[in-house]
Amino acid sequence: MLELNRLSAGYDSGNIVHDIDLRVGEGEIVALVGANGAGKSTLVKAISGIIPVRSGGLQFEEERIDRETTRARVLRGLVQVPEGRQIFAGLTVRENLRLGAHGRAKEITPPQLAEKIVQIGELFPILLQRLDQPAANLSGGQQQMLAIGRGLMADPRILILDEPSLGLSPILVAEIFQLIAGLRQKGLGILLSEQNARLSLAIANRGYVIENGKIVLGGTGAELLNNPEVAARYLGVGKAVGDTQPESNFASRLKRLLDRTE
């Protein structure tokens, strides 16, 4: 459904991501893992049209969309749940959810809209209880649920989740990921951009590892989880003891450096 062909994007100062090939199909979770600053968010922004695609192809259901506005992409069903939740803090939970369906507002009657809010409420019961409170009053986890629920209001075909685990406690993260895994059953394609590689690869059908703006590794979720290189770099279970590659072990390097200066 969503296809990236040698896509490059960035800011005025230059490209951040280079020649990205990536595909998300129906009912599929694709994880995009990488360290802080690897280019995940830039890529995700380019897919949503927040920043322009510099070169390469971006297709959605066999149609080129790289010149379209964000709004046009949302109308097609390409919806992003942004990093850091970005809820409308001063508006109520209900207004936040209604805004999620803004793009389709012309096709949806008020009763249908209310119906949809109830449907989202089945996924996130806590939101239903607090519909008329300002979104700012929600806890971090609830705000993340609201952000996802708001994204779902747009009837997405592809949902892009940018760092949904950011700033949440481990228990909440697990809960959110369980939910994400459940969404795939509805035929929704999910692109999950995450620093938490272990969890995201665990629920993903396929995954890509991004480093310095390039995809360095791809495979099924299980393959990547069992890849020793991925394990060493992103899962924190590498050859910590007796490491022969000093530069991959920050702690030992730091120790040597401190020894030398003494």
Partner 1 sequence: MIQAIQIIIGGLLQGAVFAVLALGFSLVFRVTGVINLAQGGFCVLGALLMYTLQVSYGLPVPVALLGAVFGTFLGGAVLGATTFVPALARLPVSSILVMTAGLLTLIQGVLLIGWSSTPYSLPPISGEAPAVLFGIRVPTQGFWIIGAAALIIAGLWFLLARTRLGLALRACAENRLAAQLMGIDVPRMTLLSFCLAAIIAGLGGIAVAPIISLQFDTGGFFTNFGFIAVAIGGLGTFAGAVLGGLVLGVSEQLAAGYVSSLFANGLALALLLAVLLWRPNGLFGAGPARRQDVRDEQRIQRAIVRLDGKGGLLFALIAAALMLALPLLLPSGAILNSLVITGILFIAVLGLDVLMGFAGQVSLGHAGFMAIGGYTAAVLATTYGWPPLAGIGAGIVLSLLCAVGLSLVTTRLRGHFLALATLAFGLLVDSLTVGLTDVTGGPSGLVGIPSFSVAGYVFNSPVRMYYLVAGLIIVLTVMLQGGLRSDFGRALKAVRTDQTAAAALGVNVARYKLAAVCIASVLASLSGSLYAFNFHFLSPDMVGTPRSFEMIAMLVAGGEGTLIGPLLGVALLTLIPTVFQPFALYKTFAEGLLLVLCFLWLPEGLFGAAAIWFKHALIKRKAVSG
Residue from 61, 68, 88, 179 binding partner 1 (CB under 8 A): 88
Stretch that binds partner 1, among 14-22, 35-43, 99-107, 235-243 (CB under 8 A): 99-107
- Binder among 35, 51, 99, 131 for partner 1 (CB under 8 A): 99
70 binds partner 1 (CB under 8 A): yes
Closest CA to 157 of 63, 232, 77: 77
Burial 114-151 (b: 16+ CB within 10 A, else e): eebbeebbeebeebeebeeebbeebeebbbbbbbbbbb
Give me the least distance between CB of 155 and partner 1, in Å please: 12
By C-beta, is 98 or 157 nearer to partner 1? 98
User: Which has the closest alpha carbon to 193: 208, 176, 183, 173?
Assistant: 208
Is position 100 an interface residue for partner 1 (rule: CB under 8 A)?
yes
**CB of 190: closest distance to partner 1 in angstroms?**
16
41 binds partner 1 (CB under 8 A): no
Task: State the minimum distance, in angstroms, from the CB of residue 115 to partner 1.
Answer: 17
Task: CB nearer to partner 1: give 41 or 249.
Answer: 41
Q: Is 146 in the site for partner 1 (CB under 8 A)?
A: no
Beta strand pairing status for 189-194 and 158-162?
parallel
CA atoms within 13 A on the CB side of 175: 12
Distance CA 172, CA 177 (A): 9
Does 50 help bind partner 1 (rule: CB under 8 A)? yes
CB of 21 to partner 1, least distance (A): 24
Q: Is 80 in the site for partner 1 (CB under 8 A)?
A: yes
Is 155 among the residues that bind partner 1 (CB under 8 A)? Answer: no
Number of H helices, E strands in the chain: 11, 10
Please measure the distance between the N-terminal and C-terminal CA atoms of the chain and give it in whole angstroms.
58
Among 10, 34, 82, 189, binds partner 1 (CB under 8 A): 82
- Binding residue count for partner 1, defined by CB under 8 A: 25
CB 204 within 8 A of CB 29: yes
Restricting to residues 7-36, name those near partner 1 by CB under 8 A.
Answer: none
Contact residue for partner 1 among 35, 51, 91, 235 (CB under 8 A): 91
Can you point out the beta strands (E) in the chain? 2-11, 14-24, 29-33, 53-60, 63-64, 78-81, 158-162, 189-194, 206-211, 214-220
Helix axes 93-100, 110-123, angle to 10 degrees: 110
Instruction: Please identify which residue in 17, 29, 154, 192 interacts with partner 1, judged by CB under 8 A.
Output: 154
Supply angle C-alpha 220, 224, 227, rounded to 5. Answer: 140
- Per CB under 8 A, residues contacting partner 1 are 48, 50, 69-71, 74-75, 79-80, 82, 86-91, 95, 98-100, 102-103, 105, 150, 154
